[in-house]
Amino acid sequence: MEQINLFNIPNYYSSFYHLGLSLEKSLRFSPKEEFAHLNGRPFLVFEYKGRIVVIDNDDPVGIDKKSYDQADLYFATNKLLNKAEYNWPKVHSIYPHYPIDNSWDFLKTFGLKGILKTDPRNFLKQWYTLYQRPGFENRPVRRLEGNYVFFAGSIWKKESWANKVRVDFIHACRSNPLIDFEGGMNPRSDGDLCGVPPSVIDKRYTPDVFAQKSSRSIIGFINPAVLEAVSWRLAEYWNYNCFVIGFPFKIDLPTLPEHGKHIHYIQDSGELPELLNYVLKNRNYLDKIALGGKEYFQDNCLPGVQARRILSMI
């Protein structure tokens, strides 16, 4: 099996791509000092066939110029459409993904060398964070039965619009007699509600419980995350075969999901009550979008599929 040399130790944001690359090639940790500033951060830097590739899974705070200058290809999860540097020549978009438990692969790949190259406490913290995530499974296609909807969201201090639309979704679900709803907004550790009404505050869920409940939900709601980033939930919901409701993307994707086929786009959260009524009374439409999203995920987002796409561009 051909070898890929990993140049840094990524954080758990990159676990989906770590898995994908490990399915396709043999991974070897060969630390490079010029990429040490990316240790413990949401970046995965590797060399394959003599070419250097950066996978940037960070929020859309801008290109990491130091690694960009040394890379042959630079892939960005959050390639913002309206930010000039994300249109630089070497920058490419990638498909949605989400953090998974690849704690064993993490230890196997980075091991003692990784501990010696970084702060041991940070290394073990990354391992434990990975360990707490649900493992990856390409879920079988399911028939959407019942009316259970689960949604739990964090309160973001600087994202008032995102807080509002998620509260609107919770209200729309709770007020709909056709929906058996569970969830709400998660309390912040500092106690600041950031304008979110106390009536929608629920509790925190562990990653495993969150995944288990999300996988039972017939509907998934996504909104742009911090700084217009794509939500991790999108790929999860598609994998779980949910009917996905979302807003038009602010980031570039290699293939844009189609409205009415892979996802149902809305322009305003005020559309939610009527839309929820419609899809619950028109199960054929619910099933159509749910199946279309699952097909999009299988065609484009599976870890091995994403890794093969990236490697084919080298």
**pLDDT computed for residue 228 by the predictor:** 85
Q: What is the pLDDT of residue 118?
A: 87
Q: Is the pLDDT of residue 297 over 90?
A: yes
CA-closest candidate to residue 217, choices 180, 185, 247, 259? 180
Q: For 230-262, write each residue's pLDDT tens digit.
A: 999 999 999 999 999 999 999 999 999 999 999
Helices (H), the chain: 15-24, 65-70, 103-117, 120-132, 160-174, 207-216, 232-239, 272-281, 283-296, 303-312
Domain boundaries, the chain: 3-94+101-135, 148-301
Q: Is 285 exposed, middle or buried (CB count within 10 Å of its CB: 0-12, 13-18, 19+)? A: middle
pLDDT tens figures, 102-159: 999 999 999 988 888 888 999 999 999 999 999 999 999 998 999 999 999 888 887 8
With a CB cutoff of 8 Å and minimum separation 6, the contacts of 272 are: 168, 169, 172, 245, 266
Average pLDDT over the chain reads 95
73-108 burial, b at 16+ Cβ within 10 Å, e below that, comes to bbbbbbbbeebeebeeeebbbbbbbbbbbbbebbbe
Percent of the chain with pLDDT over 70: 100
Asked if pLDDT for residue 79 goes beyond 80, the answer is yes
Residues 6+ apart with CB under 8 A from 112: none
* pLDDT tens digits, one per residue of 1-37: 899 999 999 999 999 999 999 999 999 999 999 999 9
Name the CATH topology of 148-301: Rossmann fold (3.40.50)
